[in-house]
Structure 1
Amino acid sequence: MNIKSYRDIYIFIEHHEDKLHDASLELLGEAVRLKENRTNLGYSVIAVILGAPGEEALKELGYRGADQIINIHHESLHSYSTEVYTTLLDELIRTDKPDIFLVPATVLGRDLAPRLAARCDTGLTADATKLEFDPEDEHSSLLYVTRPAFGGNLFGTIINETKRPQMTTIRPGVMDALPIDEHRLFTIEKREVQPETIRDSVRILEVLPKDHMAIDIAKADIIISGGRGVGNNFHVLRECADMIGAEVAGSRAAVDEGRIDKEFQVGQTGKTVKPKVYIACGISGAVQHMAGMEKSDYIIAINKDPDAPIFGSSNIGLVGDVLEILPLLTQEIRSYRERPF
């Protein structure tokens, strides 16, 4: 393999009905930052999107940082198929030879990326939290990928020196998307394909959309999160959350004990969140949990243990029983709202 013939940073863009997935836009922003940190490589940021998205969605990719948008175009690609997507992207990689290929670690991305890496005979680093070029060689395109290991108890940095493309999936919420800049210059290339010629052993009979009213804690501005210390009293958190327009989440311990559903878990094995306010109730602050909420703008921690690690990362720490403190907060908010002005 002639590694030097591979160049540029490609990002797989996930979308649904012309809405671009936030995780893909975050990767696009990270790719721009990588490019700007090593301008001497002369790399471009290239967004790859399958299906038949509208022109506005394609333009938004350009406004968000893509130098080129490649649309693998066919109406039938609106529904994800592992075999079809893998085959089409494998063909793209063999033709275009990207040096770096980034995939969001969504449900779709976690299914697609390992199959694509195997098809391309390259390595894959999953659930990365940090990307940077070789810090010791300013002319190198070798990507240093950092990810948690052993349940988040340590971090490892992985490099792929001999295979291309350098592939990695990145957890949603870890990176930051760039704001829209309608003055950016970019190109859009539509590549017509014939997916019906691809032999696929799976046939999609029906796609059932998720309830549009379902809660996504990754988009919440205020989160009240409970841990083992809350026990079977999550109703106390929900009562306070209702008063301030917050969402309720939980630690892995709370999920394992059946106190809250898995989709509301914050942490290394749950979701990464970045709310304006994060209220941690009865959560000790294990590394695994901190990895999912440490980028919150403002952290308030309530815990009986004065030595709980969570206090080391919180803006405000309250030592005490959350089942006594939180109802007082709820009552104070209620009283404030009922005051005549």
Structure 2
Amino acid sequence: MKALIYPIITALLFCYGCSANEPISEPDPIEEEIYFPPFNTDTWETKSISELGWNENQLQSLLNFLGDNNTKSFMILHEGKIVVEDYMNGHDASKLWYWASAGKTLTTTLSGVAQEEELIDINNKVSDYLGTGWTSAPLEKENLITCKNLLSMNSGLDDSSDAVEPEDLEYEADAGTRWAYHNVYKKMQDVIASASGSNFANYFNSKLRDKIGMTNTSGGWLQLSDFNVYWSDTRSMARFGLMIYANGKWGNTQIVSESFLNEATNTSQDINKSYGYLWWLNGKTSYHLPASQLEFSGELIPNAPNDMYAALGKNDQKIYIAPSKKLVVIRMGEAADGETFALSSFDNELWEKINNLID
């Protein structure tokens, strides 16, 4: 059955991802150490493990671990250049895979772009853009919910359902007083669409996808049940991770402001210290997990660098950004060990293997 589904999805995404935007230019050379791959080509410069002084004898152990844990693709970038790129379990460089909730960070990025263009202000209430009645909460409670609350997962709306129709968005607590991982973040896509006078996919294509060269392969947004899920090849995910690592720049072009990204990748509220604007943060003293109101002591991923932050998706879709190590790490695949919402023990085990390679 999967053999039939994937070609159909690929064809749909290719058509959906097309746009009539004007041709885009290559990024200009920049006088810094970060490398950006060119557009519309498979060319991507590499670095060798020996050049970096890493432990080459640990590479196969890492790849075996990934393959044994249902991984489909894996990449490590160092200063933008590919050090490790591997495909396994029937996947290859041309095939698409879903980002799941790792794609939430695409919505974060577009929120920053729209704010820079003065289309929105994330401190404004959501009803400024969507009108009142977008929830079933009492009006005075609905009007407490800002765009920042949506990005921070502390809207105060009931998280027992993934659906985001008004009748599903019931009042649970005042905005800002309760953190709950919830699909209501999707309302930020509606905010952006309303404020830009476009639809979210078109705004995404013109303001992000096309500007960092994610157009060299098919890919796009696909509505699956209650979720608007992004699909792409692995290198497109890596391009996004690289742009984030480069503080929102692609070449000399600032895609999303550095100041907004700094906000997005730091603690956004005082309940879950390990959560920014839809980004997960390492190195904090405590964290909350999806579908739980419990607070756990310690770091999110103890084996990862303290400054690492991550886009995490269901069934172990990963974008790790580790500035102190100059790394972007990508993992796509099936769940490593049972179905997971975002974080799992696999993250910590994977970073142990990565550390064995890079230290």
TM-score by length of 2: 0.25
**Whose relative contact order is higher, 1 or 2, with alpha carbons under 8 Å and at least 6 apart?**
2
TM-score by length of 1: 0.26
Query: Is the strand fraction higher in 1 or 2?
Result: 1
